[in-house]
Structure 1
Amino acid sequence: MEMEAETRKRDRPREAVVPRRKKEITPAEQQWMALAAAEALAAREKAMAEEKDKPPTDFLAVQAAEFRESWTRLWSDHFGDFEDTTKIPPMRFTDNPAPPYTAFRDETLQIFSVKVAGVRQGLQWPLHVFGTVALRDAVDRNRNIIFNRKRDNCQTLTQEDPNLALTGPTRAVVMLRPVTFEVELTVRGNTESEDKDLSYLAVPLMHRSPFDSCLFISDYTSKLSTLEFTHAHLFYSVEATISVRVIGGSWHGYRCQFFACTASINQEVLLLDSGNEEVPVAGDGDIELSRKVASVEFEGKLKVFVKAWHGDNFFVKKEMVFTPKEAGRSHGILNVGFCKMKVTVAWSLISRDHNPTKSLV
């Protein structure tokens, strides 16, 4: 039976396989196909370019929102509202001795500059910018403001001068744990509905060098911009609060810039830039510096210097060098010819205690 079935299967006539006839493609169809292929390739290249150029905006925005939510959940009962600023003053131990085990020569974060390194998605220079830039350390978890402007007091940034005019920190920033760099910046439009979020982020700044003070440049890309943040991690440092008072002559008709820098980091902290205006001098002779607090390695040096202009012409540069102390004050004289100034540096150890009343002993 099996042999007969195999014989019948073998003897069954096979179906002839007839090759299909290839369809003729007309010249018009060829032209259409070539055009469609070119359009598809162009669309793919455009999509790839847009994807490559697309910043990680959503991730950073989500990260910032999550930071705000987690901060409120973890710390609001201890340190108040999310927008609260640090209650710890500078010069805590300049005149009063520090309680035992509460203040040290410590690791700090020195802030040099924050600038808008690039814009995107149709933004055009100049930019009228307002908002907040702050740092949060583990001492009290509150904002240590370095830039803060309302909508009716924007700073105008240009491509030639994209640096934010910093006004802080108000005390030394301690690097016990990662410091959070927090940004909420907006570009003002013709109306509030036309305002645009320039940058919204909250990112940790980590310990990066186990032994030596180092300079770092970090950049963060948000929806409309890239921010560049120049900072240093300083070891065994103390807090220096700088003040300047006119004791002879006058700044009338002159412009100036005041700077401070540490010996180990070749970078300047801009204390004051009078721009095209005369130097702001109070009635008692004090020059109103925009920034007053810097960190200095205890075994290093602090240099304070001034540059002066008359009209558009550079006039003079004078500087002086201070040796850091753990407490007390250092004094020196800056003489630029037409004006003599007394520079005072108030020194203090770095506090790790968030209770500001403990310094009053």
Structure 2
Amino acid sequence: MTEAQLEPMRLSDPANCYPDQKRCRVHFECDMMQIFSLKLAIVPMSTSSVQLYGYIAARDYLDLSLNYIVNRSRDNPLTVRQGSLIEMTGPKRGITMTSAVLVEYDMRIMKGEQEEDDLQLIDGATDFCEVTTPSCPSTYRINGDCGAVDITLACVVNAVEATIDVIVSEVQSGFSLSLSSFVFVGGSRHGIELFCDDVGESCVLTRRYVMAVEMDSWMQLKLKVGQKGSKYDDLERYCRFKAHIHGYARRQIQLEHASIWLKVTWSAMP
């Protein structure tokens, strides 16, 4: 890897805690919200797909500003079918659940040339209490004027924050890449799709992925790689990372047509 490619990984390295990371008495695990998926449940028209824009975001006690889960402008909408997942672009940091979390949303369906012609999918806010939110992933329906969105989430107890960085280098030819994360929540393993797209050249994936992981449990990352025109099945690779209060770990996956670096940085909420 080049110096330029390594720099984003260095920037995410955690600061040392006094007297050292292993005996830190400043940072602790806490209950956190993990959103596993968003799904377009209902749309008002019988069409194969719709274009969505707007935002879904969370506010917690740590920072009252919006922590975006989805944030799309009208100039850059998402094309989604009814019953399909809505691509999540966040959160940018962990969502704490030591008190209630407010999830706000304003999502619209493009209908015409002007914004005033568009349909309001969902608009409003829902609060999730740390006491009543289950520790196993549960689905809640957000109903709106012109459809509904299903949000699946859980309260992860005694959790730490995992920040995932991905670098793709030494690309020999284009390929499709999907990245999923699997964590133990409520005593069983659950997955979340983080990334799915085509890769044509060496790059640092500009989006960082933040997960809530129960302390001392294992998070598994699954990479699925497919090459256009290949007669073989997609290639799958797995990496495991154990949750800690501090520190980071790197893994390199060397493929025939690319090299993929994964870095997971662990941190606790202040």
TM-score range, shorter chain: 0.7 to 0.9
1:194-213 counterparts in 2 under 5 A?
194-208=117-131, 213=135
5+ long unaligned stretches in structure 1: 1-90, 352-361
Deviations 1:59-79 (A, max 9, x none): xxxxxxxxxxxxxxxxxxxxx
Structure 2 partner of 1:188: 110
SS where residue 322 of structure 1 aligns? strand
SS where residue 75 of structure 2 aligns? helix
Deviations 1:320-339 (A, max 9, x none): 10111211111222234432
Q: Distance in 2 between matches of 1:298 and 1:343?
A: 20
Partner residue of 1:220 out of 142, 153, 178:
142
Structure 1 partner of 2:43: 119
Contact between 2:13 and 2:248, CA under 8 Å: does it hold in 1?
Answer: no
Q: Distance in 2 between matches of 1:312 and 1:164?
A: 28
Within the alignment, does 1:345 sit opposite 2:264 as a pair?
yes
Change (3 A) 1:246 1:187: closer
| Residue 129 of structure 1, CA deviation | 0.7
Q: Distance in 2 between matches of 1:251 and 1:271?
A: 24
Structure 1 partner of 2:28: 104
Structure 2 partner of 1:271: 194
Q: Distance in 1 between matches of 2:259 and 2:12?
A: 29
Q: Which moved more, 1:177-186 or 1:238-247?
A: 238-247
| Residue 281 of structure 1, CA deviation | 3.8
Within the alignment, does 1:287 sit opposite 2:210 as a pair?
no
Change (3 A) 1:251 1:305: farther
| Residue 194 of structure 1, CA deviation | 1.1
Structure 1 partner of 2:5: none
Contact between 2:40 and 2:85, CA under 8 Å: does it hold in 1?
Answer: yes
Contact between 1:259 and 1:272, CA under 8 Å: does it hold in 2?
Answer: yes
% identity of equivalent residues: 23
Change (3 A) 1:244 1:196: same
Q: Distance in 1 between matches of 2:138 and 2:202?
A: 34
Aligned residue identity for 1:329: Y
Structure 1 partner of 2:69: 146
TM-score, normalised on structure 1? 0.63
Q: Distance in 2 between matches of 1:250 and 1:92?
A: 24
Contact between 1:318 and 1:336, CA under 8 Å: does it hold in 2?
Answer: no
Change (3 A) 1:140 1:92: farther
Change (3 A) 1:148 1:280: farther
Deviations 1:266-289 (A, max 9, x none): 322222110xx325643xxx233x
SS where residue 137 of structure 2 aligns? strand
Structure 1 partner of 2:86: 164
SS where residue 151 of structure 1 aligns? coil
Q: Over the residues paired in the alignment, what is the CA RMSD in angstroms?
A: 2.6
SS where residue 141 of structure 1 aligns? strand
SS where residue 267 of structure 1 aligns? strand
Contact between 2:13 and 2:265, CA under 8 Å: does it hold in 1?
Answer: no
Contact between 1:243 and 1:344, CA under 8 Å: does it hold in 2?
Answer: yes
Aligned residue identity for 2:184: A
Partner residue of 2:237 out of 310, 318, 329:
318
Q: Distance in 2 between matches of 1:187 and 1:309?
A: 32
Change (3 A) 1:306 1:251: farther
> What count of residue pairs does the alignment treat as equivalent?
251
